[in-house]
Amino acid sequence: MTFHILVSDPLSEEGIQPLKQEEHLKIDVHTGLSHEELLETIEKYDALLVRSQTKVTKDIIERAKNLKAIGRAGVGVDNIDLDAATEHGVIVVNAPDGNTNSAAEHTMAMLMSLARRIPQAYHSLKQHEWNRKAYVGVELKGKTLGVVGFGRIGAEVAYRAKGQRLNVIAYDPYLTEEKAEKMGIQCGTLEEVIQQADFITVHTPLMPATKHLISRDAFNQMKPGVRIINCARGGIIDEDALYEAILEKKVAGAALDVFEEEPIQNYKLVELPEVVATPHLGASTVEAQENVAIDVSRDVIQILNGGAAKNPVNLPSLPAEVMKRIEPYFNLSEKLGTFSAHLAQEPIEEVSIYYSGDLADLDVTPLTRNTVKGILKRHLGDHVNDVNAPYFAEKKGITINEQKTTSTKGFTNLLTVETRTKSGASKVAGTLLNGLGTRIVKVDAYSVDVVPQGHLLLIRHTDQPGAIGRVGSLLAKFDVNIATMQVGRSDVGGDAIMMLTVDRQIDEDVLQKLQEVSDIHQVKPIDL
């Protein structure tokens, strides 16, 4: 099958080479498209690769009927409507690692430039001035660098700062004392970082919680003469408050690579002599541009080939070793979900998924999504996928529960799906047997051993002599071949089930004839 990919922003030629090496991928590079032009052309594409210029809005995603993946060659996805992408089942991937080194190096370059006033001195010299006294700087050695946000880039900056003999204090909601101690830095609260640092660099994402994180109140808590660096996202620092703090001599200077409005419209802040500024160059190295494009290209290939992406934005990302361990259960989880949807006689209100044995120690979120997908596809169709399954479940008012237990009931691993409707609950359990593959091992209270594939027939009946023979004879009369049969019962003469695997889909008239057989209470075809 041929997939069509649109590259709508300038990307490194080396970065998209992985795409060009795949014979089943057709690449179109059309940069500088207007919103209207993109709307007109997007329908035929299966994947879209962008940087920051293309705005992937809701109307574009709605028009893109074939779109399966959006790759952002960079970290931020501000230009992509993630809610719309999730709703329409489009996986968004980015490249959080590709520009880490580049961004950390640029941060250190800005820090050095700010401390030693290098850009100002350079500009003065270009004007044929020789004014050494006007550009006296400060040393880094012995000063304290405050790092706000300790993800990949923040940590890399801290490593480099230690090499410059700076003391480092960092704040991040997920930074532990143990990790900080291991790195030889101090872990502090946001207030402690702001109050103690001589230099403050921010490395958080931009979201409602971090908008204007460095505010007027924050500036009021800082040391006199503090210096500020922002190579992360415009908007983390309140630029009006920074402007006032510099004029009031509270802040000695600032080094800014990002701004609340880009391109800049109001230059009053960058025109201050205390400010060093660059036009969003943190990731602007040859190596970074290649790396981010390569990363998203490889992820897009994985998605189009039916694999798992390394850096999904609107899907939970798992370490490779965890994904490797749970991947064999993907088929089982979806099949159990589909089976459960067939069992439900009324709209499902609640789904509980129980993980036992080996699975109890792993992050099984992708399996839960896969199970929900299997349930919803029964009535909503193939446009339900791992991305939008939780969205559709929420819209349908279905509560999803995920539970883990050490109780294995005799199996090394066991995955159980329970669905509840207004009338009651149904339950199906499955496992993965070494060398034998996936199995359904329990339906409600009945033990079975069924391969979850093909055309199945679930028959509920009373445990009476001849019941099995009557079913077999009737199916033979209508030329329906039985491949396998499993029988389960609660007690002698009580309720029982038959699970049959048949070679073809059974016609409605045959199902009706089966329903009329004595002692049979329910006949349910299940196609997996």
Active site annotation includes 455:
no
Report the alpha-carbon distance of residue 95 to residue 411 in Å, rounded. Answer: 40
Contact between residue 484 and residue 450 where contact means Cβ atoms under 8 Å apart: yes
Query: Is the pLDDT reported for residue 352 higher than 80?
Result: yes
- Which range scores top for mean pLDDT: 136-145, 347-356, 434-443? 136-145
Instruction: Tell me the CATH number of domain 3-97+287-312, given options 2.60.40.10, 3.40.50.720, 3.30.413.10, 3.40.225.10.
Output: 3.40.50.720
Residues 509/525, Cβ–Cβ less than 8 Å: no
State what percent of residues in the chain have pLDDT above 90. 73
Phi (first) and psi of residue 158, to 5 degrees: -60, -40
- Residue 131 dihedral angles phi and psi, to the nearest 5°: -130, 75
pLDDT for position 412: 82
pLDDT at 384: 84
Q: If pLDDT is split at 50, 70 and 90, which confidence band does 209 have?
A: confident
Superfamily of structural domain 100-277 = NAD(P)-binding Rossmann-like Domain (3.40.50.720)
Q: Bridge-partner residues for 70, per DSSP?
A: 48, 92
Decide yes or no: CATH 3.40.50.970 for domain 454-528: no
Calpha distance 46→67 (Å, rounded): 4
Q: What stretch of H or E contains 231?
A: none
Q: Can you give the pLDDT at residue 24?
A: 95
Question: Regarding beta strands 413-420 and 350-357, do their DSSP bridges make them parallel or antiparallel, or are they unpaired?
Answer: antiparallel
The closest of 243, 430, 239, 203 to 339, measured between CA atoms, is: 430
pLDDT mean across residues, the chain: 92
DSSP secondary structure code for residue 479 in this structure:
T
pLDDT interval class at 396 (50, 70, 90):
confident
User: Left (φ > 0), alpha (ψ -120 to 50) or beta: where does 128 sit?
Assistant: left
Which helix H or strand E contains 424, and what residues bound it? none
Task: Specify the pLDDT at position 11.
Answer: 94
d(Cα 142, Cα 140) in Å, to the nearest integer? Answer: 6
Of all helices (H) and strands (E), which one includes residue 313?
Answer: none
Contacts of 393 (CB under 8 A, 6+ apart): 351, 372, 376, 400
pLDDT of residue 85: 93
Q: What is the mean pLDDT of residues 219-224?
A: 97
For residue 262, indicate whether it is catalytic.
yes
d(CA 71, CA 62): 17
Question: Which is catalytic among the residues 13, 139, 248, 262?
Answer: 262
| DSSP 8-state assignment for residue 405 | E
Angle 332-338-339 from CA coordinates, rounded to 5° = 85
For the cut 80, the answer to whether the pLDDT of residue 76 exceeds it is no
Q: Which amino acid would we find at residue 81?
A: D
**pLDDT above 80 for 351:** yes
- Same topology between domain 3-97+287-312 and domain 100-277: yes
The mean pLDDT of 60-70, rounded to a whole number, is 96
Contact of 67 with 90, CB cutoff 8 Å: yes
Predicted local distance difference test score (pLDDT) of residue 169: 98
Q: Could you tell me which of 313, 350, 66 has the C-alpha nearest to residue 205?
A: 313
Cα 431 to chain centroid, rounded: 27
End-to-end CA distance of the chain: 23
Distance of alpha carbon 407 from alpha carbon 99, whole angstroms: 45
Written as one letter, the residue type at 243 is Y
Average pLDDT over residues 126-138: 95
Please report the pLDDT score of residue 22 as a whole number: 95
pLDDT at 467: 86
Where do we find the tokens 């819209």? 395
Q: Which of 314, 394, 333 is nearest to 68 (CA)?
A: 314
CA angle 35, 387, 94 (to 5 degrees): 60
Every domain of the chain and the residues it spans: 3-97+287-312, 100-277, 320-453, 454-528
Phi, then psi, of 522 in degrees rounded to 5:
-155, 140
Among 106, 117, 227, 233, the active-site one is 233
216 counts as catalytic = no
Does residue 506 carry a pLDDT above 80?
yes
Question: Is the model's pLDDT at 498 over the cut of 80?
Answer: yes
Element (H, E) at 354: strand 350-357
Query: Taking the domain 320-453, which CATH number applies?
Result: 3.30.1330.90
3-state SS of 124-192 is HHHCCCCCHHHHCCCCCCCCEEEEECCCHHHHHHHHHHHHCCCEEEEECCCCCHHHHHHHCCEECCHHH
Residue 408 has pLDDT above 70, yes or no: no
Q: How confident is the model at residue 151 (pLDDT cuts 50, 70, 90)?
A: confident
For residues 331-345, give the mean pLDDT: 93
Which of 88, 280, 378, 420 does the annotation list as catalytic?
280
Chain mean position to CA 72? 13
pLDDT at 307 exceeding the cut of 90: no
Is residue 294 within 8 Å of residue 18, measured between CB atoms? yes
How far apart CA 144 and CA 227 sit, in angstroms, is 11
**For residues 226 and 246, is the Cβ–Cβ distance under 8 A?**
no
Structure-token pair, residue 369: 């999504």
pLDDT > 90? residue 395? no
d(CA 253, CA 113): 11
Q: Which helix (H) or strand (E) segment is 339 a member of? A: helix 330-343
